Amino acid sequence: MSFRHQKILEILAAEGNLSVGKLSEKLSVSEVTIRTDLTKLAKEGKVLRVHGGAQLLEERVRQEYSFQTRKSQNFELKTKIGIAAAKYVQPADSILLDSSSTALAMATALRDREELKEITVIPTGVWTAIELMSCSNINVLMPSGYLRSISGSITDLPSSDFFENININKAFLGVWGISLQDGLTESHLLEVELKKKIIQKAKEIIILADGSKFNQSGLASYSDLSKVSKIITDKTAPTKAIKELRKKGIEIEIVK
């Protein structure tokens, strides 16, 4: 698949039905080129041509590309954060990875740590579970709940009940935003309720956040900063925010 075809699929996954004109503007190519691309993608069963434009044909494809778009944002930084986070996992640990794309990067790094034995990973995202399912040295324990179509996360009341009898040594969580005023925040209320349960159960909370997440606040808070043991971030994180967080006794690791 060409780079432009992939970008068309990613744009349609994020925005839905788009006209040929809009796609032409976004990709800086002629409408004739876009029509040719859409015709080819339609023959491959990936898009459905509609009047004046196109939309993704399969729900599965839409979900995959929606997540791939999120995963590709700050990809290099997330990879470095994921590698750093994986170093904190020890043999026989029980850890939780949320549905964030940074936690997925950590799961990828864990695949390379073949010396780890008998660790249990509780992923709240289906993509992370898939990443780990071929690892014979990792026990993957899936929570129950509803599967969100866009993020691939498992949320809602069944998932909340699941955590009542589970012991979690370390929870590695992404954030929509982190700020001194609002603490840890997310943009979806089901994610907020799930993470509140996780915060209550985990012995150690480790936040995975690239520099773009600082001084941002999502729709609702799921924890204040006093619950956070460590934040793993990168050199793009604002210096002032890092200093203030360290004053609160939070350990900050900055990957390079």
Q: What is the DSSP letter of 164?
A: G
CATH number assigned to the domain covering 73-255: 3.40.50.1360
pLDDT, tens only, 202-226: 999 999 999 989 999 888 999 999 9
At 12 the pLDDT is 81
State the pLDDT confidence band at 48, using cuts at 50, 70 and 90.
Answer: confident
Q: Phi first, then psi: give them for residue 15, nearest 5 degrees.
A: -115, -10
At 60 the pLDDT is 47
At the second CATH level, the architecture of 3-70 is Orthogonal Bundle (1.10)
Each domain of the chain, given as residue ranges in start order, spans: 3-70, 73-255
Looking up tokens 């040719």 gives 36
Residue 199 burial class via C-beta count within 10 angstroms: exposed 0-12, middle 13-18, buried 19 and up: middle
Task: Pick the range with the lowest mean pLDDT from 67-81, 209-223, 228-242.
Answer: 67-81
Give the CA distances from residue 195 to residues 58, 59, 123, 235, in Å, rounded to whole numbers and listed in that order: 30, 27, 12, 26
Task: Pick the range with the lowest mean pLDDT from 66-70, 91-95, 234-238.
Answer: 66-70
How many other C-beta atoms are found inside a 10 Å radius of the C-beta of residue 114? 11
pLDDT, tens only, 147-194: 766 566 776 655 557 888 889 999 999 998 999 999 999 988 888 888
